[in-house]
Structure 1
C-alpha cells in the first residue's frame, strides 16, 4: 500500500513540476509533453496495480513491477538517444553558425584593409610588409 501512495504522489509531483517549468518557460513544450505523458501514464498504474499485473502476466512476465522497471529502462534509453541526437544536431548548427560568422567577419574586414589604413609591419623590420627590398 505504501508503494502505491509513494508512486501516486511522485507522479503528481512530476506533473506539477512540469506544469511549473512550462509556466516559467524554462522547458520547451516538446519535452514537457513527454514528461507530462509519463506522469499521466504512471498515475493509473499507481492506483490500479492489478491492471499492471494482468498485463505482465499476459506478456509472460512474472511480476508487474518487473514490467514497469523494464519499460522505465526502455523509456530512459529512448530519451537518452533522443537527447544525444538533439545535441549532435545543435553542435552541427553551432559549427555552421561559427563558420558563417567567420566568413562575415572576414568579408567585413576586407574593405577596411583596402582603405587608407596602413599595412601591418613585418616581424623582421620596421617597414611596412609591402615595402621593396631597396627600402629595407
Structure 2
C-alpha cells in the first residue's frame, strides 16, 4: 500500500470512528449518519482497492481516473447540498409556524391578564 492509499484509508477510518462517536453522544441524527457511513465505506473500499476506480474510469471511457473521482465527488456534494437545503426549508417553515403560535398564545395571555 503506497502513501496516498494509506492516507486515504486512515482518513476514512478516522471519519468512521468520529461518526460512531457522534452517534454515541447523540450529536448526529441517524439519517445523516447512514449517508456519511456509506461515503466513508466507499472511501475505505476505494483506498483498499484503487483498481476499482481505474476499472470504472476505463469502463466509462475516461482517460484519467481522477476525473471520475472528482465528478462523483461533485455529484455527492450537490446531493448533500440539495438535501440540506430541503431540510433547511422545512425547518424554516416549522420555526415560522411556531413563532406564529407563540405570538397567538402571548396575545391570549395578555388578553387574559388585562381582563383580570
Same-fold call, TM > 0.5?
A: yes
What is the match of residue 115 of structure 2? 114
CA distance in structure 2 between the partners assigned to 1:25 and 1:111 by the alignment: 40
CA distance in structure 2 between the partners assigned to 1:37 and 1:56 by the alignment: 21
* 3-state SS in 1 of match to 2:19: helix
CA distance in structure 2 between the partners assigned to 1:3 and 1:65 by the alignment: 13
What is the match of residue 71 of structure 1? 72
* Runs of at least 5 residues in structure 1 that lack an aligned partner in the other structure: 116-136
Q: Aligned-pair distance for 1:111? A: 2.1
For this pair of structures, how many residues does the alignment match? 115
Q: Give the structure with higher Rg (CA).
A: 1
What is the match of residue 8 of structure 2? 7
By relative contact order (CA 8 Å, sep 6+), the higher-ranking structure is 2
Q: Aligned-pair distance for 1:105? A: 1.2
State the TM-score, normalizing by the size of structure 1.
Answer: 0.80
State the TM-score, normalizing by the size of structure 2.
Answer: 0.93
What is the match of residue 106 of structure 2? 105
* Runs of at least 5 residues in structure 2 that lack an aligned partner in the other structure: none
What is the match of residue 27 of structure 1? 28
CA distance in structure 2 between the partners assigned to 1:114 and 1:48 by the alignment: 75
Structural RMSD (CA)? 1.0
Residue deviations 1:104-136 (CA, integer Å, cap 9, x gap) = 111122122223xxxxxxxxxxxxxxxxxxxxx
Task: Pick the structure with more helix per residue.
Answer: 2
